[in-house]
């Protein structure tokens, strides 16, 4: 009888110990369910583009681009080494949903800050001021201003508003051509099927900088809009302040400039100076 009592007590103690262990297992996690910024053996999930050369691209060798460099630097400042980063594809239409669901800790994916998006997510930054521009063949001298796009074949990807913006505001007689991908637009631009490709100049510079296109294209330099790239975080997340501090360090120690020149330099991208945190230019 005595043996049974000891065994029951031991079992109860074991249950209590296991329960305490289970309850304490999430002590190093933040309110989003992800590992805290103390790093250690945890992981951090970051959303990027997989299909934008110079910005964010998945390659056989890994991940590359300006946003990837920025995100890696920020993660390091948060306490995570590169091998602790879990990259996630953040397609444009999915970004807000990914942040709300907690699929990622933050997103750096040519993510322009605008009032509509700020209703549902928070932004650190901006960390890059881009502009809508056009990409032209390097030997084309007929397009020197946005108005010269009238009667020209202007390409952007299906579903994009970039080409429509140009037609509505600057070149009402432009002939809009919608292709499924930017790569298809580039092929059309190269063989003369279209005359210009339009989207953010940072994206255009990334494509033009690819080795197979070296010297074949040039940026118009029209700066038709301001696009403030920010790092998206879940609404109310304390990561916003931490990321802003990391971005300030990236600019001050020269890493920001190095990343811009390495990713966009081959396209002779005339980039703006690093924007001040919180300075969103309309």
DSSP string, 121-172: EEEEEEEEEE-EEEEEETT--S--SGGGGTTSEEEEETT-SHHHHHHHHT-T
Q: Are 231 and 107 in contact (CB under 8 A)?
A: yes
Element (H, E) at 234: strand 227-234
Q: Are 63 and 260 in contact (CB under 8 A)?
A: no
pLDDT score of 165 = 83
**CA–CA gap between residue 135 and residue 47 (Å, rounded):** 27
Q: Are 140 and 153 in contact (CB under 8 A)?
A: no
Instruction: Show pLDDT as tens, one digit a residue, over the chain (282 residues).
Output: 444 444 444 444 433 343 444 444 343 334 333 444 445 559 999 999 998 999 999 999 999 999 999 999 999 999 999 999 999 999 988 999 999 999 999 999 999 999 999 999 999 999 999 999 999 999 999 999 999 999 999 998 876 778 888 888 889 999 999 888 888 999 999 999 999 999 999 999 998 888 888 889 999 999 999 999 999 999 999 999 999 999 999 999 999 999 999 998 877 788 999 999 999 987
The SS3 of residue 78 is coil
Domains and CATH numbers, the chain: 44-130+227-267 (3.40.190.10), 132-219 (3.40.190.10)
Distance of CA 24 to CAs 12, 19, 32, 105, Å? 18, 9, 16, 22
Nearest to 109 by CA among 72, 150, 55: 55
**CA–CA gap between residue 282 and residue 101 (Å, rounded):** 29
**CA–CA gap between residue 150 and residue 138 (Å, rounded):** 19
Show the tokens assigned to 98.
Answer: 């990914």
Q: Which residues pair with 197 in a beta bridge?
A: 135, 155
pLDDT score of 32 = 36
262 alpha carbon, distance to own chain's centre: 17
Show the tokens assigned to 55.
Answer: 């910005």
pLDDT score of 159 = 66
Whole-prediction pTM: 0.79
């Amino acid at each position: 009888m005595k043996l049974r009592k000891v065994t029951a007590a031991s079992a109860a103690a074991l249950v209590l110990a296991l329960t305490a262990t289970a309850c304490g297992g999430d002590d190093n996690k933040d309110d989003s369910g992800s590992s805290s910024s103390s790093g250690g053996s945890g992981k951090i999930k970051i959303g990027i583009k997989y299909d934008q050369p110079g910005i964010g691209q998945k390659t056989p060798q890994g991940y590359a681009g300006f946003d990837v460099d920025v995100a890696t630097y920020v993660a390091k400042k948060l306490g995570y080494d590169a091998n602790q980063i879990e990259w996630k594809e953040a397609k444009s239409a999915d970004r807000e949903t990914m942040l709300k669901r907690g699929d990622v800790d933050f997103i750096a994916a040519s993510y322009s800050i605008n009032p509509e998006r700020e209703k549902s997510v928070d932004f650190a930054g901006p960390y890059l001021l881009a502009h809508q521009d056009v990409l032209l063949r390097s030997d084309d001298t007929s397009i020197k201003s946005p108005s010269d796009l009238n009667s020209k074949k202007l390409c952007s990807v299906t579903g994009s508003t970039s080409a429509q913006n140009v037609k509505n505001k600057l070149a009402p007689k432009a002939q809009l051509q919608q292709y499924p991908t930017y790569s298809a637009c580039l092929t059309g631009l190269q063989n003369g099927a279209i005359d210009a490709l339009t989207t953010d100049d940072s994206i255009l510079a990334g494509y033009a900088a690819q080795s197979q296109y070296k010297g074949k294209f040039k940026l118009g330099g029209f700066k038709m809009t301001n696009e403030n790239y920010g790092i998206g975080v879940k609404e109310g997340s304390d990561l916003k302040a931490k990321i802003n501090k990391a971005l300030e360090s990236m600019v001050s120690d020269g890493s920001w400039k190095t990343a811009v020149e390495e990713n966009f330099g081959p396209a002779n991208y005339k980039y703006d100076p690093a924007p001040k945190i919180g300075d969103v230019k309309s």
